[in-house]
């Protein structure tokens, strides 16, 4: 059994993947030496959105349930990490895992009503859930209401405890650790029997039920794993930016939709699609945001606009995303896993 798992992992950590991860690993000191905080921050954001998009893709791409309310999980994870750190002085090294667990538990509670719905209706209900969370957090004084929460700057000797460092360079490693953990776990899930059950549910839920798959159980599992990693991403966000408010972390566009955009641009029926998608569209939007919008604030919105154009082109011309296109052209090995017949 363990031998099989090992060969599975060998297929995940193929030479290109190793090169990709090592490049990110060595990029941090090089960028710090060259004093390029913008590029380092962009790499961090790409990793953060890749974490979220992969988690989203387990639910959307593999299980077939489109969620546009992942901001609810992201925000819950972020607030949990922040509150544990601010009110209980628990280090975010531990806090983010609590954030993930709490988020997974709340996903369990939300899953029972949500999974009574399918397709369009599920998507709409997830949006409503995330918006409700946002509105509740806006009026809840314990979590700082609309002002949000900010963690203070700490003395240098406490940097490690609070994971507080100047610039974005160190945070690349934090995101990278989470990214690798998630990559491994999700790959083990989708190559296991559970993964095939999830894909069976995506292809035809009623047939899956007929052949004896407990669909609710597996859908719930998928939602909880997805929520867990999205919550962790929220915690990573808190560590990096030290400030959260309901409008940022429960944001429909920059969290819920961007997560999905990463998956859709990269290709949802592929394991590495969301990673590629995030590493394509985040640099675009970050570049426009930092070099155009920040300098000319009257053009605020151009960074979203550019994502809109990219998303439109991809969804009209390459509906299977970048990986789908590469596979069709033969540049990427055809997936062995079952593919949705369109």
Partner 1 sequence: MLEDVVNASINGILLGSVYSLIAMGLALIWGVMDVINFAQGDYMMLGAFITYFLFIGLGIDPLLSIPLTFVVVFLTGILTQRFVIDRILEAPLISQIAATFSILLIIRFGAEALIGPYTFRLVTGYADYVIRLGFIILHYTKLLAFIISILTVISLYIFLTRTFLGTAIRATSQNRIAAQLVGVNIGRMYKLAFGIGVGISAIGGALLSTFYPLHPEMGGFFCLLAFVIVVFGGFGSIFGAFFSGIIIGVVQMLSALFVPPTLKDAIAFIIFILVLLFRPTGIFGKGV
| Site residues for partner 1 per CB under 8 A | 60, 66, 68, 113, 116-117, 119-121, 123-125, 127-129, 131-132, 135-136, 138-139, 146, 252-253, 257, 260-261, 264, 268, 297-305, 307-309, 311-312, 314-316, 319, 340, 342
CB under 8 A, 24+ apart: contacts of 39-42: 40/167, 40/168, 40/169, 40/172, 41/168, 41/286, 42/282, 42/283, 42/286, 42/287
- Gap between the Cα atoms of 213 and 221, Å rounded: 13
Cβ proximity to partner 1: between 154 and 309 the closer is 309
Helix H, strand E, coil C: the string for 278-324 is HHHHHHHHHHHHHHHHCCCHHHCCHHHHHHHHHHHHHHHHCCCHHHH
Nearest distance, CB of residue 68 and partner 1, angstroms: 8
Nearest distance, CB of residue 209 and partner 1, angstroms: 19
Cβ proximity to partner 1: between 56 and 228 the closer is 56
- Gap between the Cα atoms of 294 and 36, Å rounded: 17
- Gap between the Cα atoms of 216 and 115, Å rounded: 7
Nearest distance, CB of residue 308 and partner 1, angstroms: 3
Nearest distance, CB of residue 61 and partner 1, angstroms: 8
Nearest distance, CB of residue 253 and partner 1, angstroms: 8
Cβ proximity to partner 1: between 154 and 253 the closer is 253
Nearest distance, CB of residue 215 and partner 1, angstroms: 18
Cβ-contact 273, 127 below 8 angstroms: no
Cβ proximity to partner 1: between 85 and 114 the closer is 114
Cβ proximity to partner 1: between 125 and 224 the closer is 125
Instruction: Give the pair of three-digit tokens for residue 315.
Output: 């969804």
Instruction: Give the pair of three-digit tokens for residue 342.
Output: 């369109």
Cβ proximity to partner 1: between 101 and 284 the closer is 284
- Gap between the Cα atoms of 268 and 104, Å rounded: 22
Cβ proximity to partner 1: between 97 and 304 the closer is 304
Cβ-contact 253, 229 below 8 angstroms: no
Nearest distance, CB of residue 104 and partner 1, angstroms: 20
Residues 6+ apart with CB under 8 A from 225: 55, 58, 104, 185, 186, 189
The owner of tokens 């544990």 is 84
Nearest distance, CB of residue 199 and partner 1, angstroms: 15
Cβ proximity to partner 1: between 32 and 205 the closer is 205
Residues 6+ apart with CB under 8 A from 185: 225
Task: List b or e across 217-236, with b for residues whose CB sees 16 or more CB atoms inside 10 angstroms.
Answer: ebbbbbbbbbbbbbbbbbbb
């Amino acid at each position: 059994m363990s031998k099989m798992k090992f060969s599975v992992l060998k297929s995940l950590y193929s030479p290109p993947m190793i090169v990709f991860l090592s490049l990110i690993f060595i990029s941090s000191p090089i960028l710090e030496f060259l004093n390029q905080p913008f590029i380092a921050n962009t790499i961090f954001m790409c990793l953060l959105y890749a974490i979220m998009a992969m988690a989203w893709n387990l639910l959307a791409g593999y299980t077939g349930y489109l969620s546009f309310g992942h901001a609810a999980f992201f925000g819950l994870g972020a607030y949990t990490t922040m509150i544990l750190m601010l009110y209980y002085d628990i280090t975010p090294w531990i806090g983010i895992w609590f954030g993930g667990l709490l988020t997974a538990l709340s996903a369990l509670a939300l899953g029972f009503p949500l999974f009574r719905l399918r397709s369009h209706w599920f998507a709409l209900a997830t949006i409503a859930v995330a918006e409700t969370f946002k509105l509740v957090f806006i009026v809840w004084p314990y979590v700082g209401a609309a002002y949000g929460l900010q963690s203070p700057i700490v003395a240098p000797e406490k940097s490690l405890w609070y994971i507080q460092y100047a610039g974005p360079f160190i945070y690349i490693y934090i995101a990278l650790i989470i990214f690798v953990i998630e990559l491994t776990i999700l790959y083990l899930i989708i190559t296991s029997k559970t993964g095939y059950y999830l894909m069976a549910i995506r292809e035809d839920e009623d047939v899956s039920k007929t052949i004896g798959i407990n669909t609710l159980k597996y859908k719930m599992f998928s939602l909880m794993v997805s929520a867990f990693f999205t919550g962790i991403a929220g915690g990573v966000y808190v560590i990096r930016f030290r400030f959260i408010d309901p409008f940022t972390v429960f944001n429909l566009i920059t969290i819920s939709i961007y997560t999905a955009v990463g998956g859709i641009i990269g290709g949802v029926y592929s394991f590495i699609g969301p990673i590629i998608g995030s590493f394509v569209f985040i640099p675009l939007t970050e570049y426009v945001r930092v070099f155009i919008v920040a300098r000319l604030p009257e053009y605020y919105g151009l960074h979203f606009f550019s994502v809109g154009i990219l998303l439109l082109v991809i969804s009209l011309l390459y509906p299977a995303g970048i990986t789908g296109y590469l596979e069709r052209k033969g540049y990427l090995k055809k997936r062995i896993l079952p593919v949705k017949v369109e």
